[in-house]
Structure 1
Amino acid sequence: MTQPTKQRLIEAGLSMLLEHGYGSLGVQSLLDQTGVPKGSFYHHFKDKEDFALTVIDTYVGEVHKVLDMCLADRSLAPLARIRRFFEIVSQKYREDGYMGCLMGGLGQELSGTSETFRRKIEWCFSSIGERMVACLAEAKARGDVPASIDPERMGHLLVDCWEGAALRSRLRRDPQSLMAMLDFYISSIRAGAPGPA
């Protein structure tokens, strides 16, 4: 069955944004790659910005789906659920050719020039952080981490650490930075490191 036009555009746009960024994304090159007429693009999207924001929504929706699936797996302890999520992320980075995180790349490129993108990407990171907070609160309630741990701070710190490690993974074309970050983070939180004030 033929993929719907809008979905074809979004999938191609995701790859192009990951590889080249927003500034280098040309609507015509997107149309050439997908074989979609210009009128069809503007039927689904107001302009290039609207298109990119839709791609971000689709991307973060997929991240939420995988994260929620991992964090809901009650067969694993909370910290093991977090580790499972990052194992899946690491595999996805490998499959994508180590292009890293779309939100991190676009955030670096656009946060200083577009308030719309800055707010959208910050919301994306915060929404992921809140899910981590809930999982870490459960770990604390179970006694898996010391009572001194602040799940709110540590959940959002994990997202910050993830983005730095994603950038290093992209630079090195290797997921080791991501997994090394996770090992360090989990050992630190188990030891009671409180995170930044």
Structure 2
Amino acid sequence: MPRDTRGQLLETGLAMLLRQGYSGLGIQAVLREAGVPKGSFYHFFSSKEDFALQVVDAYMAEVHKGLDVALGDTALSPLDRVRRFFELSRDKYESEGRLGCLLGGLGQELAGISETFQGKIEGCFAVIVGRIADCLEEARQQGQLPADNDPQHMANLLLNCWEGAALRSRLWRDTAPLDAMLDFYFSAARSA
């Protein structure tokens, strides 16, 4: 993410949203931590909600980079590429203090009270699922998955399991739930 003023605010906001959630996020605290004057915030963002939504967009740009790196690595089999995406995500969570997925955290906090965030987060998840499903379809065509498997269903199941494991990983401050989930899912997928 660029280190311009807007980029600084988004980067700081991402870290703070992961640690404190939306309800605990204060604009003054973001400005203080980013070392940016108050007027700068309202130059780039119309409100706290607009700011958080733009943080989600910045987060998704990073997710897309991870998807591109992992799913684009044709030296790996399709299933191994999908697993690699989640391993890269796990490593990122580890580097950020095992706080898990921003989408999952905000979704748990806000989906029941904000249709805007519910739609935004579900849209982000749908994009991730779609890209994973495409790779799982390739795995199905290559015989890595049974011919009657539905790649869209398998991708949704994988993301659902991942988000649950990410929550447990955050609670435990340990990546073990993520690793166990990946081992279970890919073992089951290969043997189904």
State the TM bucket, normalised to the shorter chain: over 0.9
Query: In the alignment, which residue of structure 2 is the partner of 1:71?
Result: 71
Distance in 1 (alpha carbons) for counterparts of 2:62 and 2:94: 17
Check whether the contact 1:71–1:78 (CA below 8 A) recurs between aligned residues. yes
Query: In the alignment, which residue of structure 2 is the partner of 1:172?
Result: 172
Matched to 2:60, the amino acid is V
**Superposition deviation, residue 155 in structure 1:** 0.9
**Superposition deviation, residue 21 in structure 1:** 0.2
1:147-158 equivalence runs, <5 A: 147-158=147-158
**Superposition deviation, residue 148 in structure 1:** 2.0
Distance in 2 (alpha carbons) for counterparts of 1:30 and 1:87: 30
Matched to 1:54, the amino acid is Q
Mapped pair 1:119 → 2:115: no
Segment drifting more, 23-32 vs 83-92: 83-92
Mapped pair 1:102 → 2:102: yes
Matched to 1:39, the amino acid is G
**Superposition deviation, residue 11 in structure 1:** 0.4
TM-score, length of structure 1 as denominator length: 0.94
**Superposition deviation, residue 3 in structure 1:** 2.4
Check whether the contact 1:149–1:189 (CA below 8 A) recurs between aligned residues. no
**Superposition deviation, residue 36 in structure 1:** 1.0
User: 5+ unaligned residues in a row in structure 1: which ranges?
Assistant: 193-197
**1:43-99 deviations in whole A, cap 9, x for unaligned?**
000010000000000001101111122101110000111121122111111111110
Matched to 1:180, the amino acid is A
Q: How many residues align?
A: 191
Matched to 2:84, the amino acid is R
| Superposition CA RMSD, Å | 1.0
Distance in 2 (alpha carbons) for counterparts of 1:56 and 1:178: 22
Distance in 2 (alpha carbons) for counterparts of 1:126 and 1:185: 19
Check whether the contact 1:98–1:174 (CA below 8 A) recurs between aligned residues. yes
Matched to 1:122, the amino acid is E
TM-score, length of structure 2 as denominator length: 0.97
Q: Percent identical across equivalent pairs?
A: 57
Query: In the alignment, which residue of structure 2 is the partner of 1:37?
Result: 37
Mapped pair 1:46 → 2:35: no
Large movers: runs of 4+ above 2 Å: none
User: 5+ unaligned residues in a row in structure 2: which ranges?
Assistant: none
1:84-99 equivalence runs, <5 A: 84-99=84-99
